């Protein structure tokens, strides 16, 4: 008779093995070229879909129903908060950055490019920034969700609920966040997934941030029962940080050490949000006691 403990972790082992095996193909392609934009960005898109494809393959191997990955929408309030929370923590972080002049608001060259792109030069920088924020805040989220979905089918669709069966909220958040972070490290250390700081610094900030985010993602996934909360959280995070707040911030000398996912401010704000959702862990359904 097999070891029951080993059987519990077998699905996770299968999922992670397939995920990292598939990802190795795209690690090689991205690292070989040195940039995330190689292959017109399709190598990066392929990498982001590796966890999702792995989850689907794992479900097939285990003869489980794919509908168990959390495709139901759930309560709309959780989806709405999933969109707003990354905007909130990003806004807090960047206001701090701008107020202390660790980065400036706004980057004039970036706004000039926006102005030329929109063709609204006579309407002024304030209008251009507001228009860009609203336009990308709506339609950019949809595009961002297409890539985020690939990751989230795997990480929060399969991996987090599977861990939660035996580990509960805190350990699930820590373990899934750590592995999720490690999965990003090859392109952080050996390609250009970095804002320009030393690798050890970027890696430290990034890992703290992503583990903190994992507490938010796990809470919403378990509370709502819906994979879409994680997709929206992920899409909103990538959009507001990578496409809006970071490009709008000008360099004041050492700005790279403070902004984006590889600077120090967002991880600190992220810890605060993680503590808040950790404090709400008792609102979640308990770990099944029959496992």
Alpha-carbon distances of 277 from 105, 113, 172, 234, rounded to whole Å: 30, 39, 13, 17
Please provide the size of the chain in residues: 291
**Could you give the CA distance from residue 27 to residue 19 in angstroms, rounded to a whole number?**
12
Its pTM stands at 0.93
**Could you give the CA distance from residue 289 to residue 155 in angstroms, rounded to a whole number?**
23
**Could you give the CA distance from residue 271 to residue 212 in angstroms, rounded to a whole number?**
5
Per-residue pLDDT of the chain (291 residues; tens, 9 = 90+): 445 556 888 999 999 999 999 999 999 999 999 999 999 999 999 999 999 999 999 999 999 999 999 999 999 999 999 999 999 999 999 999 999 999 999 999 999 988 888 887 667 888 889 989 998 898 888 889 999 999 999 999 999 999 999 999 999 999 999 999 999 999 999 999 998 899 999 999 999 999 999 999 999 999 999 999 999 999 999 999 999 999 999 999 999 999 999 999 999 999 999 999 999 999 998 876 443
Per-residue pLDDT at 215: 98
Per-residue pLDDT at 165: 94
**Could you give the CA distance from residue 71 to residue 36 in angstroms, rounded to a whole number?**
29
Per-residue pLDDT at 124: 80
Q: Where are the beta strands (DSSP E) in the chain?
A: 104-105, 249-250
Q: Which of 213, 224, 214 is nearest to 270 (CA)?
A: 213
Domain ranges of the chain: 69-283
Q: Which of 59, 42, 52, 44 is nearest to 19 (CA)?
A: 52
Cβ distance 158 to 55 under 8 Å?
yes
**Could you give the CA distance from residue 19 to residue 109 in angstroms, rounded to a whole number?**
40
């Amino acid at each position: 008779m097999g070891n029951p403990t080993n059987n519990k972790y077998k699905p996770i082992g299968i999922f992670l093995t397939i995920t990292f095996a598939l990802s190795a193909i795209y690690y090689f392609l991205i690292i070989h070229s040195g940039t995330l934009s190689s292959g017109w960005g399709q190598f990066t898109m392929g990498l982001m879909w590796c966890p999702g494809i792995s989850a689907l393959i794992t479900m097939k191997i285990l003869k489980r129903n794919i509908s168990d990955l959390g495709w139901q929408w759930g309560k709309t309030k959780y989806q709405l908060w999933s969109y707003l929370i990354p905007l909130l923590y990003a806004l807090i972080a960047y206001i701090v950055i701008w107020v202390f002049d660790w980065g400036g608001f706004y980057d004039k060259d970036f706004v000039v490019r926006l102005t030329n792109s929109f063709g609204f030069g006579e309407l002024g920088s304030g209008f251009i920034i507001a228009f860009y924020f609203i336009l990308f805040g709506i339609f950019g989220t949809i595009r961002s969700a297409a890539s985020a979905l690939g990751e989230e089918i795997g990480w929060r669709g399969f991996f987090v609920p599977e861990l939660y069966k035996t580990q509960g909220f805190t350990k699930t958040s820590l373990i899934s966040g750590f592995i999720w972070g490690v999965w990003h490290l090859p392109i952080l250390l050996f390609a250009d997934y970095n804002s320009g700081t030393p690798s050890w610094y970027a890696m430290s900030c990034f890992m703290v941030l992503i583990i903190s985010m994992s507490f938010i993602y796990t809470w919403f996934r378990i509370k709502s029962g819906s994979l879409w909360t994680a997709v929206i959280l992920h899409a909103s995070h990538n959009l507001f940080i990578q496409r809006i707040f970071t490009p709008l911030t000008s360099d004041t000398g050492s700005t790279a050490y403070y902004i984006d996912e590889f600077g120090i401010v967002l991880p600190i704000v992220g810890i605060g949000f993680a503590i808040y959702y950790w404090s709400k862990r008792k609102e979640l359904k308990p770990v099944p006691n029959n496992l």
